[in-house]
Amino acid sequence: MKILVYIQQDEGKINSVSLEALKGAQDIAAQTNGTVSALSFNADVCSQLAGYDVAEVLVVEDDNLNTFNPLFYLKALEDIAKAESPDIIVFGHTYEARDWAPRLSARLDIPFISDCIGFKNEDELTFIRSIYQGKFNSDSVVNNGAFIVSFQSGAFRVDGLQSGSADIRQVTVDLSGAGDSIAPEEKFQEAEQAIDLNQADVIVSVGRGIGKEENIELARELSKTLGGEIASSRPVVDAGWLESSRQVGSSGQTVSPKLYLALGISGAIQHIVGMKGSKNIVVINKDKNAPLFEIADYGVVGDIFEIVPKLTEKLQNA
C-alpha cells in the first residue's frame, strides 16, 4: 500500500488537520504493511516533515504554487499521481481541500471518500464517515484501484505522530496554462470583529432549536444573569438573529470558556470544532440522540422553553 499524504501549509506553517491526516496515514501503513510519503508545495516545511516517520518527503517548488489556486494545485498533484502511482492519496478535510480534492477525483477518475472520522482494517480497509449531521456512521470500502480519502479535523491526534528521518526529494511538474480560468484575490476579514468571546467565562450558546428571533431574549437574559456572553451556531447567524461575530465553529470563533451552555444545538462537527475545548460543556436538547451529548460533561434531555426561564429565575434568586 503506497500512501501519499498532501500536506497543506498556510503561510509557511503546516496545517494541523493535514498533520492529523499524516498520522492517519501512518496508522493505515502500519496495519497494511504500507509506506507513507508526504507531499508539500512549500520547501520551508520539508525539514519538519522529514522528522516524521515517512518513507520520503516530496517537494514541488513552483511559483504558481506559492498561494492556493485550485487549478494549479490540481495539475501538480495530477502529474505527481501519474509519476508516483500511489494507491491512496490522503488529505485533511480542510476548506482548501474541499476546493480541489473532489476535482482531482474526477480528473484521475478514482473515487474519493471524503471527511472520514477514522478507518479500520478488519477484513478489508474500511473508512468510517459521519453522516446525517452526526446522527449515524457509515462504513465504506473501495472495490478496486487507487482512491482518495480525506480525514475530518480531530480524526487523529498529532501527538501520536511517529518520528523518524526521511529524505527530501524534489519533483517537477508542468503547470503551464493550468490556472487561467480561476484568479484568486487577496484574503480579508470583515471589519466587524467586535466581540471577543474568549474574554467570557460563561457562554450561553443558542442553536436552531431556539425557534425564532424573539426567543433569543430568553437566552440573553440567562447569559446576563450568569455574567456571560451569548453566542450561537451558524443557522442563528444565517437567519440574522445574532451578529456573525457571535458564531462559534469552523467558520466562526473558537472558544474555551469555563462553562459552555448549549441550548438547542445538535452538534455538527463544524460547531464542535469551535467549542470542544470548553472546560465544562452543558447541553440542553430535547432529542436524546443529539450528537452534541457525545461531548457533553452534563446533559439535560428536555425542552429549553420549559427549563431556561426557570433556570434564569432561580439564578436570579440564588
Partner 1 sequence: MKICVLIKQVPDKDSSLTIADDHLTLVENNITWVSNESDNYALEEALQLREKHGGEVIACTLGKDSARQVLKDALAKGADRGIFISDSSFESLDVLSLGKVFASTLEKENFDLIMSGLQSDDQGNSQLGLIIAELLNMSHGTLGMGTEIIDDSTIRLKKELEGGWFQWTKLSLPASISIQSGINSPRYATLKGIMMVKKKTVDEINASDVASRASASNITVKKLYVPDKTKETQFIEGSPDEISEQLVKLFKNDIKVLN
| 289: DSSP letter | T
265 binds, among partner 1, ligand FAD, none (CB under 5 to 8 A by kind): ligand FAD
132 neighbors 143 (Cβ within 8 angstroms): no
Q: How far is the CB of 133 from ligand FAD (least distance, A)?
A: 6
271 binds, among partner 1, ligand FAD, none (CB under 5 to 8 A by kind): ligand FAD
28 binds, among partner 1, ligand FAD, none (CB under 5 to 8 A by kind): none
The answer to whether residue 238 forms part of the interface with ligand FAD (CB under 6 A) is no
84 alpha carbon, distance to own chain's centre: 28
291 binds, among ligand FAD, partner 1, none (CB under 5 to 8 A by kind): partner 1
Q: Which is nearer to partner 1, 37 or 130 (CB)?
A: 130
Q: List own/partner pairs for 290-296 with CB under 8 A and 24 or more apart.
A: 290/265, 290/266, 291/133, 291/134, 291/135, 291/266, 291/267, 292/262, 292/265, 292/266, 292/267, 293/267, 294/134, 294/267, 295/267, 296/262
Size of the site for ligand FAD (CB under 6 A): 28
Q: Which is nearer to partner 1, 63 or 187 (CB)?
A: 187
Distance CA 188, CA 221 (A): 34
The answer to whether residue 93 forms part of the interface with ligand FAD (CB under 6 A) is no
Q: How far is the CB of 2 from partner 1 (least distance, A)?
A: 18
The answer to whether residue 205 forms part of the interface with ligand FAD (CB under 6 A) is no
233 binds, among ligand FAD, partner 1, none (CB under 5 to 8 A by kind): ligand FAD
Q: How far is the CB of 50 from partner 1 (least distance, A)?
A: 27
Q: How far is the CB of 242 from ligand FAD (least distance, A)?
A: 11
The answer to whether residue 243 forms part of the interface with ligand FAD (CB under 6 A) is no
The answer to whether residue 244 forms part of the interface with ligand FAD (CB under 6 A) is no
Q: b/e per residue, 30-53, with b = 16+ CB within 10 A?
A: eeeebbbbbbbbbeebbebbbebe
Q: Which residue do the cell numbers 520551508 mark? A: 44
Say whether 160 sits in a helix, a strand or coil: helix
153 neighbors 20 (Cβ within 8 angstroms): yes
Q: Which is nearer to ligand FAD, 135 or 314 (CB)?
A: 135
DSSP H or E stretch at residue 46: helix 46-50
Provide Rg for the chain, Cα atoms: 22
Of the residues 201, 303, 314, 316, which one makes contact with ligand FAD according to CB under 6 A: 303
Q: Which is nearer to partner 1, 34 or 92 (CB)?
A: 92
Length of the chain: 318
Say whether 281 sits in a helix, a strand or coil: strand
Distance CA 60, CA 4 (A): 14
The answer to whether residue 275 forms part of the interface with ligand FAD (CB under 6 A) is no
The answer to whether residue 134 forms part of the interface with ligand FAD (CB under 6 A) is no
The answer to whether residue 268 forms part of the interface with ligand FAD (CB under 6 A) is yes
- Interface residues with ligand FAD (CB under 6 A) are 133, 207-209, 233-235, 247-252, 264-266, 268, 270-271, 274, 284-287, 290, 303-305
